[in-house]
Amino acid sequence: MTPIPEHISIWGELGDVDHRLLHLDVPLGDETVRTRVLQAGSGPELVLLHGTGGHLEAYARDIAGLARDFHVTAYDMVGHGWSDLPDRPYTIDVLSDHLIGLLDVLGIETAHLSGESLGGWVVAWTAAHHPGRVDRLVLNTPGNIANKPEVMVRMRDSTMAAVLDPSDETVRRRVEFLFHHKELVTDELVNLRRRVYSRPGFVRAISNTLVLQDPEIRKDFAWSPEWVGKVVAPTLLLWTEHDPTGGLDEADLLLGWLPDARLHVIADAGHWPQWEKVDEYLDTHRSWLLNGKEPS
């Protein structure tokens, strides 16, 4: 008998977990953003933020495990997934304001925040500028802390290519960029992202996201000790051995800038440890967020 694969599908991961998927109107400046949200579990509040061009399914393999200990909220950031795509630059302050607006709509006063890639940048900025709303932080492969131009160009070009041509080949290449073990990239994951990238108005939306890869715009939000040093929330840096966006030298920068930070490195994983190394990702979050302990 052929063994059942560890991962079958996104629905398979959520099949035995009580959850709700809903769309909420979140105020953002003078407009309202219809925002797609998934919630599950009970316990301390934990909000998960995906990366550039992503969507809440980035955490599909983790929701069930986290929901045993936390009230988990994952959502599509403004301009991403199936949330609204207003025509404005999605700079870090805008993405952070959208997060704070969502917390307000959900009635969440304070929460643990865990962000991957762009999401890590957003949660760190939020913790620096809204310290009263954040309990503990996890910065999961936050990427390009040193603001390297070559990394910006690679991120911009690969993402834009996939959105302009959302074919299986092009989008698969973009998703495989996130993985060390590329055999874990499923047809379901690729086709889901192809559907997102094919939404009307998404080319404009991704252009509004990729302004962050423009050095002139990025300089107002770039990682720097001036604002990172204002993060008072205890912070775990979750790095990997094979992150294509930044090495351990960049983790060392953050360790020097953050007032209260620890580093944990996940072996044998790329930019998405939450998908490639589920058990270690879950154990790390439980140890840090529930017990304030650096994972062993």
* Residue 126: DSSP 8-state: H
| Residue spans of beta strands (DSSP E) within the chain | 19-28, 31-40, 45-49, 71-75, 111-116, 134-140, 235-240, 261-266
Distance (Å, whole) CA 257 – CA 270 = 24
Model pLDDT, residue 143: 84
Is residue 296 in some structural domain? no
Model pLDDT, residue 288: 97
Is residue 49 in some structural domain? yes
Is residue 1 in some structural domain? no
CATH, residue 206: 3.40.50.1820
Per-residue tokens: 211: 């302004």
Q: Averaged over 39-51, what is the pLDDT?
A: 98
19-39 confidence digits (pLDDT tens): 999 999 999 999 999 999 999
Is residue 246 in some structural domain? yes
149-205 confidence digits (pLDDT tens): 898 898 899 999 999 999 999 999 999 999 999 999 999 999 999 999 999 999 999
Is residue 2 in some structural domain? no
Phi, psi of 122 (to 5 degrees): -65, -45
Query: Do residues 114 and 48 make contact, with C-beta atoms less than 8 angstroms apart?
Result: yes
Is residue 22 in some structural domain? yes
For CA atoms 232, 246, 75, 94, give the dihedral sign: positive
Say which amino acid occupies 101. G
238-277 confidence digits (pLDDT tens): 999 999 998 899 999 999 999 999 999 999 999 999 999 9
Model pTM? 0.97
Is residue 27 in some structural domain? yes
- In the chain, the number of structural domains is 1
The pLDDT confidence band at residue 296, using thresholds 50, 70 and 90, is low
Model pLDDT, residue 3: 87
Q: Averaged over 202-228, what is the pLDDT?
A: 95
Distance (Å, whole) CA 282 – CA 174 = 25
Phi, psi of 156 (to 5 degrees): -65, -50
Q: What secondary structure, in 3-state letters, does 33-98 show?
A: EEEEEEEECCCCEEEEECCCCCCHHHHCCCHHHHHCCCEEEEECCCCCCCCCCCCCCCCHHHHHHH
Length of the chain: 296
Distance (Å, whole) CA 112 – CA 76 = 17
Residue 153, domain extent: 10-291
Residue 294 reports pLDDT greater than 80? no
27 φ/ψ sector (left φ>0, alpha ψ -120 to 50, else beta) = beta
Is residue 97 in some structural domain? yes
